[in-house]
Structure 1
Amino acid sequence: MRLTTKTNLAVRVLMACAVNDAITLRSAEIATACNASLNHLLQVVNALQGFGFVDTIRGRSGGLRLTRPAAQISIGDVFRVFESGVPFAECFSAETNTCPLSETCRLRGYLSRAVEAFYHELDMVTLEDLTKGNCGLTALLEVPDSLRRTCTESALT
């Protein structure tokens, strides 16, 4: 199984917002911190906003932030939004399926259950699970020094 670039970027954006919870982040700052193309990142931010994961604020002091606490954002929900348009295998797409085995193949049923098990596991993971106390992630996403010190101090205790 391979995730799309959009799903990968979506999780990076959400983690950056969660780590910098008290700050409105600019897309360019996130793109730099996450080593991502600003153009691709803006498309992902637009989708995240459309699906209610982030609020965007236009203008000079604009940026983006989470719409709800990180503990209330399911990673499974994020993956479903960004992966739903990509069929796992050819036979999962009614429009493009040309496999002659589709009618009698049993593999599709097993794959369907495996994909559902994958999403079930991700449903139990929140954005907070990925970010809380993750000092390495905090350092990579360039939070202000005051927040970085707090994270380092809590890791030592």
Structure 2
Amino acid sequence: MRLTRQTNYAIRILMYLATNPGRLSKLGDVAKSYAAPEPFMFKILQPLVGCGLVETVRGRNGGIRLGRPAATITLREVVVLMEESFAMAECFDNGATDCPLVFHCELNVALRQALEAFLSTLDQFSIADLVENRPFMSETLGIPLHAEQSALS
């Protein structure tokens, strides 16, 4: 299974925001840190805002921030939100197929178990887990540390 580019960047947006806690971030800065086009990042941001993972603040000094604590946002939640399909074979989830074995094959059972194992593993990791090394993350992404964050490091 391969995650889409949109899912990859959705996770990156959340990681950026988790690395910049308590402050608003500009989407342009997030896009720049990942060398991604801002319109592409804006498109990815929409479902994250729609389900409450990200909040937007309008106005001249507005920006974006996490809608919930990073420790409560699992990778599974983000992947399930962003991926359009988990069909690993044309017969997965009763897809159209001309395979004569479709109703007598254990491939779907095996694929469903594999998918559930994959998603269960993702459920064990939060966005906070991905950014535990905040000073390194901040430096890499070009996010200046607040004085109180520096004291914690």
TM-score range, shorter chain: 0.7 to 0.9
CA apart distance, 1:110: 0.6
Pairing 1:1-157 to 2, within 5 Å after superposition: 1-94=1-94, 96-100=95-99, 101-146=101-146, 150=150, 154=153
SS of the equivalent of 1:129 reads: helix
Structure 1 residue 113 displacement after superposition? 0.4
The verdict on how the C-alpha distance between 1:97 and 1:139 changes in structure 2, with shifts beyond 3 A counting, is farther
Identity %: 35
Sort the Cα spacing of 1:33 and 1:104 in 2 relative to 1 into closer, same or farther, 3 A.
same
Instruction: Give the whole-Å Cα distance in 2 for the aligned partners of 1:143 and 1:49.
Output: 22
1:96-154 CA-partner distances (Å, limit 9, x unpaired): 5224132222111111101100100111101110002244322221111546x828x83
Cα deviation code 1:63-82 (max 9, x no counterpart): 10001111111111111111
Contact 2:135 2:145 in 1 (8 A): no
Distance 1:110 1:53 in 2: 32
Q: Secondary structure, in 3 states, of the residue corresponding to 2:91?
A: helix
One-letter code of the match for 1:62?
G
List alignment gaps of at least 5 residues for structure 2. none
Q: Residue 41 and residue 138 in structure 1: after superposition, are their counterparts in 2 closer, same or farther (change >3 A)?
A: same
Aligned length: 152
Following the alignment from structure 1 to structure 2, what is the Cα–Cα distance between the partners of residues 18 and 87?
A: 31
- The root-mean-square deviation of aligned C-alpha atoms, in Å, is 2.2
> Is contact 2:72-2:126 (8 Å) kept?
yes
Secondary structure of the residue aligned to 2:64 is: strand
- Unmatched tracts of structure 1, length 5 or more: none
Counterpart secondary structure, 1:90: coil
Once the two structures are superposed, what CA deviation does each residue of 1:37-64 show, in whole Å capped at 9, x if it has no partner?
A: 2122101111100011010122321110
